[in-house]
Structure 1
Amino acid sequence: MTIHAQALLFDNDGTLVSSLLSVQRCWTRWAGEYGITAEQFGRVELHGRPAAEIAADLLPAHVVPEAVARIEDLEVEDVPNGGVHLLPGTRDFLGALPAERWAVVTSATRRLAEARLDAVGILPKTLIAADDITRGKPDPEPYLLAARVLGVDPAHCVVFEDAPAGLQAGRAAGMTTVALATTHQAHELTADLVVEDLSALSALVTDGGVEIAVRP
């Protein structure tokens, strides 16, 4: 299978980098600080959603701004503690792409996203973060904004995601979707293509864009 694209849009956590250890440490501490029980916490989908939406599901509205600032501080401060690393294939795949052909589209704040990307040596020319949008994934707004910034028709964009919410956002934006089974089982992911991680794919830059193929 070969996918033709003019722009490639990547989620960050779970797609380019793994931050699961850091996320678990920080959100567990955060939940304890705000008196959230394990049962309450277990009912909320964490992955692929902005912190503000998660906090709003768990806390009274007047507490949410302070709580969101707190989890951002905890996660940024935790980055040097070894809980963030590149997923297989990330560096080689991104290294094959022209800087103007791809963007990172994350549910994290810009401050947190930049801290994690900097820690692993990834420097995107275009970064869309939670600060830039009014509605987070699964709403298509983040991906539509990325397409607009890159100057590419959404129909010619490919979204790379590991979370159902992000894949839903990509589909709603009218984009081709590639799911990476890094944080969810393959059968839990609905996409045009499902692979284990970016090491399963190759990218060939042509005059018309980028050809993405599954490695034999």
Structure 2
Amino acid sequence: MTIHAQALLFDNDGTLVSSLASVDRCWTRWATEYGITAEEFARIELHGRPAAEIAADLLPPEIVPQAVARIEDLEVEDVPNGGVHLLPGTRGFLDSLPGDRWAVVTSATRRLAEARLDAVGILPKTLVAADDITRGKPDPEPYLLAARALGVDPAHCVVFEDAPAGLASGRAAGMTTVALTTTHQAHELRADLVIENLSALSALVTEQGVEISLRD
């Protein structure tokens, strides 16, 4: 199978890097600080959604801004504690791409996204973060904004995601979707292609764009 693209758009957490240990530590502490019960917390989908939306689901509106600032501080401060690392295949796959042909599209704030990316030595030329949008994944806005920033028709973009919300965002934007089974099982992920991680893929840059293929 070969996928032809003009631009490649990557979610960050769970796609390029793993931050599960950090997320678990920080959100558990945050929930305790704000008096959220384990039962309430267990019902919330954390992965792939902006912190502001998660906080709004759990807390009174008047304290949401303070709570969002608090979880951002906790997660940024936790980055040096070793809770973030590159997922298999990330470095080699990104290194094979021209810098103006790919972007990172994350539900994290720009401050947090840049802290995590810097920690693993990834420096995207284009980054779309929670600060840049009005509606988060599964709305198509984040990926449409990235396509516009790269000057590419959404129909010629490929989205790489690990979470159902992100894949739904990519589909709604009219893009080809590739799912990674790093945080969810394959049957939970609706995509044009499902892989374990980026080590399953190779990229060939041509005059027409990028050809993405499964490794033998």
Task: Please give the secondary structure, in 1, of the residue aligned with 2:138.
Answer: coil
Match of 1:29?
29
CA–CA distance in structure 2, aligned partners of residues 146 and 113 of structure 1:
15
Structure 2: gaps spanning 5 or more residues: none
Q: How does 1:107-118 map to 2 (within 5 A)?
A: 107-118=107-118
The structural deviation recorded for 1:13 is 0.1
Q: What is the percentage of aligned positions where both structures have the same residue?
A: 87
Query: Which residue does 1:95 correspond to in 2?
Result: 95
Give, as a single letter, the amino acid of the residue that structure 1 aligns with 2:44.
V
CA distance in 2: counterparts of 1:213 and 1:63, whole angstroms: 47
Deviations 1:157-216 (A, max 9, x none): 000000000000000000000000000001110000000000000000000000000101
Tell me, in whole angstroms, the C-alpha distance in 1 between the residues paired with 2:164 and 2:63: 28
- The Cα of 1:98 is off from its aligned counterpart by 0.1
After TM superposition, list the pairs within 5 Å mapping 1:30-109 onto structure 2: 30-109=30-109
The TM-score with structure 1 as length reference comes to 1.00
1:55-99 CA-to-partner distances (Å, cap 9, x unmatched) read 000000001000000000000000000000000000000000000
In structure 1, the gaps of 5 or more residues are none
Tell me the equivalent position of 1:162. 162
Q: Name 2:135's counterpart in structure 1.
A: 135
The answer for the alignment partner of 1:144 in structure 2 is: 144
SS at match of 2:211: strand
Which amino acid counterpart does residue 45 of structure 1 have in structure 2? E
Whole-angstrom distance in 2 between the partners of 1:109 and 1:95? 24
Aligned length: 216
Q: What is the CA distance between 1:16 and its match in structure 2?
A: 0.1
Provide the C-alpha distance between the structure 1 equivalents of 2:95 and 2:3, rounded to a whole number of angstroms.
18
Structural mapping, 1:168-187, within 5 Å: 168-187=168-187
1:28 to partner: Cα distance? 0.1
RMSD of equivalent CA atoms: 0.2
Superposed displacement of residue 29, structure 1: 0.1
Distance 1:104 1:87 in 2: 15
Structure 2: which amino acid aligns with 1:108? A
Q: Distance in 1 between matches of 2:108 and 2:201?
A: 25
